[in-house]
Amino acid sequence: MNQVRTLQFRHQGFWAISLTLFMVAYNVSVIPAIMPSIVLELNSSVGYIQDILVLFSLVTASFAPTTENLCSFYGRTRVFIFGLILYGIGIALTSFSPTIGILAISFSLLTGLAATPLISTPWAIADLIYGAEAEERVTLALILASTLGGLSGSLLGGYLASTLGWRWAFVPSLSVLILVLLFRRSLPNLAIPHRQPLDWVGGLLSLLGLGSILTGISLAGEFGWWEPKRVFSIAGLVIPPFSISIVPTLVAVGVIILGFFGFWQRRQAKRHGASLLRVGLLRKRGFLLGILTAMLHTMITVGIQFNLYQFVPVALSLNPFRTVLTIIPYNVSMIIVLVAVVKYSVLSNRIAPKYIVCSGIALLAAGIGVLYSCLHPLVPSLGLMPGLIVMGVGSGLFLSYISALTYSAASMDEKPQCYGIYNPIQNLGNSLGRGILGAALVFFASQGIVDGILQNLGRTLPSAQRSEIIAKLQEMLQTFSREELRDVFTNKLPPSTYPLLRSINLDAATSGLKTSLLIALVLTGICFLFTITLPKYPSCRLS
């Protein structure tokens, strides 16, 4: 009888943690899918939606070390339940947001804070429920749940936005939240053998350090990576007071603060005081290479998908649902590969996991190349499919074993610390992908639009004036609504140029996307160099 009850609790517990990861991935993926509808109804811009997504990743990553500290004081399960409640409040407020500002606060801040324990706790609970006996299969199953959540967010969210309105796209995630709360009794009560005191100083330093770096990255598109596109000021005080962008300043300040954070953690560890995390884990070569490799993959795939969600509606004149259908082959092929790996795990017994990961990155690069070669201003939806499918197969192979290779470098006692570091690094990859590749698309598209208009007018401009106009257009594309952009072009351009503007914009958008794909291809090469340094097998192979 006790054995049957144990199996029932394990079954319900698995559904609770897998549905949690499904829900979080759903909401992150639904925003790009419903972006055109939000921009139109709230009279906003693509740039603001991008900032909201980056801010979500910033909050989640910055709060992760403090979350682990709270879990060690109050208990992981209790923090997890509180996160579920706060997450539900945040999503409900997001769906009712009357302005873009309230949407940013509810989704990026409330949901971002709540998502931190919801992302890390399922992995810790899976370790407790299943242990080493089925770690590889459970890990793949949780990755699959998260991937299915992303697919559902894009597909179902896009459909609901097209038929009922974008606010209805959040209803499925709220339904899943209710199911998780019903299953919460099956979650183990993770005991705290030695309650650790809260490390408020470490929490503040990590929050300020990570927050400063990620804020700088999120502002790169608007203020420039090095040369300032516009002045950053607070209460009339220009920051920095010299002629460089605010971005390197914030990143440098963040790195310095994280240096103090590392010093503080070592000091606390020597004195056996309150410590947010043990930074010694980052000295393990296998773990460090694994998280950097996974971060690069996240950065590449998230950045490409985000750019496609901006390009496809404009180039193909598609609604949100049909846009999702165009991009979804990547997610579908990735899920098929993950399901195949979970079902036929014998693959890892014949081929070293390292080689599976390496082949996944190679296929990802091949898919990006195919996508690049297929792009032209009149490309149909089906023309993008081959490249997206190859990319999806590559990502599926990569994701199937990268976490096992990464976590195997840590001992069982260090596993909770692994989740506290690995997940924030992936959120950093999300921010970098949207920040770097998204900014590249907007910059090169702006450059193409300006050059196309000048060519049509038969005019040339001095380099400095041309750069100033490109920077101004880039700022407008990120901050102006569609109506405001239309008014600017109508009032500033001669009537003879306006009929050709769609063709100019389309050519520029295609060129910008192709350039961002070349950048992604370079990053994929760097990622491949990291993968070849990984161990062939996890240090402790699990059946």
Give pLDDT tens digits for 255-284. Answer: 898 888 878 877 776 766 655 555 556 667
Q: What is the mean pLDDT of residues 48-55?
A: 76
Peptide bond into 240 cis (omega under 30): yes
47 confidence band (pLDDT: 50, 70, 90):
low
pTM value? 0.79
- Cβ-in-10-Å burial (0-12, 13-18, 19+) of 410 comes to buried
High-pLDDT (> 90) share of the chain, %: 20
Residue 394 makes CB contacts below 8 A (sequence gap 6+) with 359, 360, 361, 362, 363, 364, 365, 366, 367
Q: Flag the least confident range among 35-44, 101-110, 209-218, 498-507.
A: 209-218
Six token digits for residue 301: 């795939």
Q: What is the mean pLDDT of residues 150-166?
A: 85
Q: What is the pLDDT of residue 171?
A: 92
Q: What is the mean pLDDT of residues 312-324?
A: 81
| pLDDT for 520 beyond 90 | yes
Of 370, 319, 396, the closest CA to residue 34 belongs to 319
351 confidence band (pLDDT: 50, 70, 90):
confident
515 confidence band (pLDDT: 50, 70, 90):
very high
Q: What is the pLDDT of residue 3?
A: 44
Q: What is the pLDDT of residue 519?
A: 95
Q: What is the mean pLDDT of residues 88-101?
A: 91
Q: What is the mean pLDDT of residues 334-338?
A: 87
Q: What is the pLDDT of residue 1?
A: 41
Q: What is the mean pLDDT of residues 308-333?
A: 85
Q: Give 39 or 346, the one with higher predicted confidence.
A: 39
Contact 452, 512 (CB under 8 A): no
Contact 381, 315 (CB under 8 A): no
Q: Give 352 or 184, the one with higher predicted confidence.
A: 352
Q: Flag the least confident range among 175-179, 243-247, 391-395.
A: 243-247
Q: What is the pLDDT of residue 7?
A: 44
Q: What is the pLDDT of residue 349?
A: 63
Of 434, 407, 409, 433, the closest CA to residue 422 belongs to 407
Neighbouring C-alpha atoms within 13 Å toward the C-beta of 419 = 23
In DSSP terms, 443 is beta-bridged to none
Q: pLDDT digits over 17-31, tens only? A: 889 999 998 998 888
| pLDDT for 6 beyond 60 | no
High-pLDDT (> 70) share of the chain, %: 81
The CATH number given to 1-192 is 1.20.1250.20
Neighbouring C-alpha atoms within 13 Å toward the C-beta of 110 = 18
Q: What is the pLDDT of residue 400?
A: 85
Q: Flag the least confident range among 195-209, 429-443, 525-539.
A: 195-209
C-alpha 402/C-alpha 354 separation (Å) is 8
| pLDDT for 5 beyond 70 | no
Q: What is the mean pLDDT of residues 343-361?
A: 78
Q: What is the pLDDT of residue 529?
A: 93
| Cα 133-139-144 angle, rounded to 5 deg | 140
Q: What is the pLDDT of residue 417?
A: 66
393 confidence band (pLDDT: 50, 70, 90):
very high
| pLDDT for 517 beyond 90 | yes
| pLDDT for 188 beyond 70 | no
All structural domains of the chain with their residue ranges: 1-192, 200-275, 444-515
C-alpha 294/C-alpha 289 separation (Å) is 9
Q: pLDDT digits over 234-243, tens only? A: 666 667 767 7
Residue 277 makes CB contacts below 8 A (sequence gap 6+) with 65, 68, 69, 202, 265, 417, 420, 421
State CA 319 to chain mean position distance. 23
C-alpha 326/C-alpha 318 separation (Å) is 9
Q: What is the pLDDT of residue 319?
A: 76
Q: What is the pLDDT of residue 478?
A: 67
Mean pLDDT score of the chain, rounded to an integer? 80
| pLDDT for 77 beyond 70 | yes
| pLDDT for 180 beyond 70 | yes
Six token digits for residue 27: 């909401």
